[in-house]
Amino acid sequence: MKESEGKHNRERNLLALTGAAALLALAANLAFSAFNSHRKKTKKKDLPGSNVRVNLSPSEILRLADRIIANSKAVHEKVASVPLDKVSYVNVVSPLAELEAEQFPLIQSCVFPKFVSTSDEVRKASAEAERRLDAHALICSVREDVYLVIKAVAARGEWTSAEAKCYIQSLVREFERNGLNLTVTKREEVQRLRAQMDELSLQYIKNLNEKSTFLLFSEAELAGLPAEFFKGLDKAENGKFKVNLRSNFVAAVLELCKVGRTRRMVAVAYGKRCGDVNLPVLENLVQLRHKYARLLGYSNYADYAVDLRMAKTTSKVFEFLEDISINLTDLATKELNMLKDLKKKEEGEVPFGIEDLLYYAKRVEVQKFDIDFGALKQYFPVNLVLSGVFKTFQDLFGLRFEEILDAEVWHGDVRVFSVFDLSSRELFGYFYQDIYAREGKYGQTCVVALQNGALLSNGARQVPVALLISQFEKDISGHPGLLRFSEVVNLFHEFGHVVQHICNRASFARFSGLRIDPDFVEIPAQVLENLCYESFVLKLISGFHQVIHAYN
């Protein structure tokens, strides 16, 4: 673990901002900092109301996974033992709902270290814990005795609320999508296929996470990329730069590199990463999924997957895509030809490939709107953008974010925030912010639910906890980390997921936050990312930076 954030703050460089808009952003930043400076420091301990555990050792992760499994078995046995003529919401549904709410953060405590831990041993233990937990979950999902008592409750139709009815129906549907309404022979085959599919899926992700691939390029081969990009790269013995195939590096090369050959090499290598080991896994997984879907009465796995979605059938999906294609083909062809012509002018008679799309789309924007994206990046130092994001979401949703100093975290770069309702001061939840790139960390930007909100049987409300993961480059040599505008938009998108998760007030953990209907889960974030284009928000998140001097 790196030195504490406090020392980092004492030695940080003074950030000077210019322009009226920047002064507004600076005021927001100073206000946020001043507010935070009066917070009481907490000891390094678990957050009140959060059951998420961090910094578990490999052995502790595996022991916790085993305890989760043992407790789950006990609850399922008790539920299954209820006579069918005595089933009720209280003795069947409530214990299962409570189990989901209480064990989800413990399960995530075992699983999320594989995404963020700096220890290879911890990541391996986390992956093994996930394997054990998934195997147990599979067993629970095909327990006929539990299925029968839940179905008996559903048949009575005694709902305590509309949400409770939805929960019971989802339990029944889940069992039946795992084959519990089939003959014994088919059911056993479904279970066998499901176990194989889960194992292959884990293997596929494990291969991607463990693969650390880089390509070597000279400075000339990376022409067009800003100086800040090179500061985040290591050098090989031959003096060439190592470009890791992480999403943040790949996106920068595909957007900004002037050398077509370099873009193509990076795009191909990124698309083929782990191909030697993952292609057989993928081929096998596709075949197993098809068999699985057919056993459950679907024509193919796509029909099985889309059955719970708004479209219901793949034919509807194809109709929708065909309609889009008919209406957009002419425009798409026109725009693609424009990009091809631009490439021909810059690179000559070289075929246009998928690796050219981002670069030449950006070139069109530069020409059409007279934008210098390199200069534009200078207006989005990461700390200023973050302060503007906090300010925007606080004002928009009536929230208050308070950083918790000295909270237990897994890396010195991680920050923890509590989220309160501004008017009532009610604690809505917490979120961890782990936004800087490092070796061994999950390579994509995403939000992970660590604890779901729920209304417990004792009347208490369990608060949500979220984790925001990103791959921004950290401040180097006193210079602030700068964000491309696309990264700013992406940050707003993911912050939308954080707020969506924390502000959810569902009674059941199964419907909380990011576990809502898959047709809807992306909509709030997609709407909120458009705030980046509003002038009042741009004033908060942007300002030209200039390093003046360091101070202690």
How big is the chain, counted in residues? 552
Where does 368-426 show beta strands of DSSP type E? Answer: 399-403, 415-421
d(CA 172, CA 92): 13
d(CA 382, CA 384): 5
d(CA 501, CA 513): 4
494 belongs to the catalytic site: yes
Q: How far out from the chain centre does Cα 484 lie?
A: 19
Adjacent-strand bridge partners of 429: 419
Token digits for 264? Answer: 């193509």
d(CA 428, CA 450): 14
Q: Name the nearest CA neighbour of 472 among 359, 401, 404, 381.
A: 381
Token digits for 541? Answer: 């998140």
Q: Name the nearest CA neighbour of 535 among 18, 16, 25.
A: 25
Residue with tokens 């470009």: 243
Listed in sequence order, the residues at least 6 apart from 372 whose beta carbon sits closer than 8 Å to its beta carbon are: 366
The radius of gyration of the chain from alpha carbons, rounded to an integer in Å, stands at: 26
CA contacts within 13 A on the Cβ side of 172 = 14
Token digits for 246? Answer: 């992480």
d(CA 361, CA 339): 7
Quick count: other Cβ atoms within 10 Å of Cβ 122?
21
Token digits for 310? Answer: 């708004």
Q: Name the nearest CA neighbour of 123 among 406, 433, 410.
A: 410
d(CA 5, CA 12): 10
Q: Are the CB atoms for 252 and 229 separated by under 8 Å?
A: yes
DSSP 8-state assignment for residue 46:
P
Listed in sequence order, the residues at least 6 apart from 371 whose beta carbon sits closer than 8 Å to its beta carbon are: 365
Q: What angle do CA 81, 84, 88 make, to 5 degrees?
A: 90
d(CA 508, CA 305): 23
Q: What angle do CA 19, 23, 28 make, to 5 degrees?
A: 150
Q: Name the nearest CA neighbour of 31 among 396, 381, 400.
A: 400
CA 300 vs CA 176, 179, 195, 502: distances in Å: 17, 15, 19, 36
Active-site choice (408, 494, 529, 534) = 494
Token digits for 250? Answer: 């790949």
Amino acid at the residue 384: L
Active site residues: 494
